[in-house]
């Protein structure tokens, strides 16, 4: 089931009698108030604000990375607080960078809720194509209906699983961070620089249409196919980043291209929390 929804498809949904909820997932790791500030200025009409740091992540522990997935029981209550149940179509959006919106969709998928889509192009595309915005705060009503939980353990992997796949000829580890971080030349956030052994670097920003997201977040399909040409095979793909957020961009692109993959939410920050784990620098 596809994970992206176009602006035109969203307009059709908004004008239908289907049950839907729109969630604003804008955030900035370096500016903690960016999400709420942006929401207050303008958001998609009827949208509710999601707090990425608190709603979509547990507080960091010794292991699990800087943004561990929210524990299932708490996550379900948070989702139901937005009025979401089994019959709801969930639309997530951000500025078009797909990180916050993608994170929420993948967390929903991880508990077996598949009726969720990321808005391609985000609020940028929505406004450009005539979408109505507002600045008032919308207060959701909690759903009292059921939200069935069917965890998908086949889409998410942990540190031990990744460790068992290092230099496996049938596995490709995908590092979604910038090339200097991958190479170990710089590390602005984590305590160790470098990458998980055997990983290949596919910087998530390289595939985003940063200069013009009025129609799509991504560069052309032809560009994506060429960029990920080495991944069109039967090998297992595991996607990671620094803390389990920006990897969602690569994951969405692979999904768009029909390439199967798994995600490692703990990512590099979880990997280096185990002192015995080796970290590589330079190109591999």
How large is the average pLDDT for residues 65-81? 95
pLDDT value, residue 30: 86
Q: What percent of the chain has pLDDT over 90?
A: 94
pLDDT tier for residue 110 given thresholds of 50, 70 and 90: very high
How large is the average pLDDT for residues 214-231? 97
The CA distances from residue 58 to 42, 73, 101, in Å, are 28, 12, 17
For all residues of the chain together, what is the average pLDDT? Answer: 96
Are 246 and 267 in contact by the 8 Å Cβ rule? The answer is no
Are 124 and 163 in contact by the 8 Å Cβ rule? The answer is no
Task: Kindly report the pTM of this predicted structure.
Answer: 0.96
pLDDT digits (tens, 9 = 90+) for 135-189: 999 999 999 998 999 988 889 999 999 999 999 999 999 999 999 999 999 999 9
Domains and CATH numbers, the chain: 4-134 (3.40.250.10), 159-271 (3.40.250.10)
pLDDT value, residue 152: 85
Residue 50: pLDDT over 80: yes
């Amino acid at each position: 089931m596809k994970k992206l929804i176009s602006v035109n498809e969203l307009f059709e949904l908004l004008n239908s009698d289907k049950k839907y909820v729109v969630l604003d997932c804008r955030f900035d790791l370096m500016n903690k108030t960016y999400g709420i500030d942006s929401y207050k200025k303008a958001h998609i009409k009827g949208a509710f604000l999601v707090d990425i740091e608190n709603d979509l992540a547990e507080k960091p522990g010794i292991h699990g990375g800087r943004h561990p997935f929210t524990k299932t029981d708490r996550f379900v209550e948070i989702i139901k607080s937005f009025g979401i149940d089994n019959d709801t179509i969930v639309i997530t959006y951000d500025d078009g960078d797909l990180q916050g919106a993608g994170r929420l969709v993948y967390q929903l998928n991880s508990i077996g809720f598949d009726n969720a889509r990321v808005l391609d192009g985000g609020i940028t595309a929505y406004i450009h194509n005539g979408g109505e915005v507002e600045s008032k705060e919308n207060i959701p009503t909690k759903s009292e209906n059921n939200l069935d939980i069917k965890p998908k353990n086949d889409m998410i992997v942990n540190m031990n699983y990744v460790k068992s796949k290092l230099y496996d000829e049938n596995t490709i580890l995908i590092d979604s961070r910038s090339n200097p971080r991958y190479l170990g030349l710089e590390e602005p956030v984590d305590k160790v620089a470098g990458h998980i052994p055997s990983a290949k670097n596919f910087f998530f920003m390289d595939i985003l249409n940063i200069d013009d997201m009025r129609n799509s977040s991504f560069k052309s399909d032809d560009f994506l196919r060429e960029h990920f040409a080495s991944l069109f095979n039967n090998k297992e793909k595991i996607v990671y980043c620094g803390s389990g957020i920006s990897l969602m961009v690569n994951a969405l692109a692979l999904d768009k291209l029909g390439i199967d993959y798994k995600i490692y939410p703990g990512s590099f920050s979880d990997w280096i929390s185990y002192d015995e784990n080796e970290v590589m620098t330079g190109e591999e």
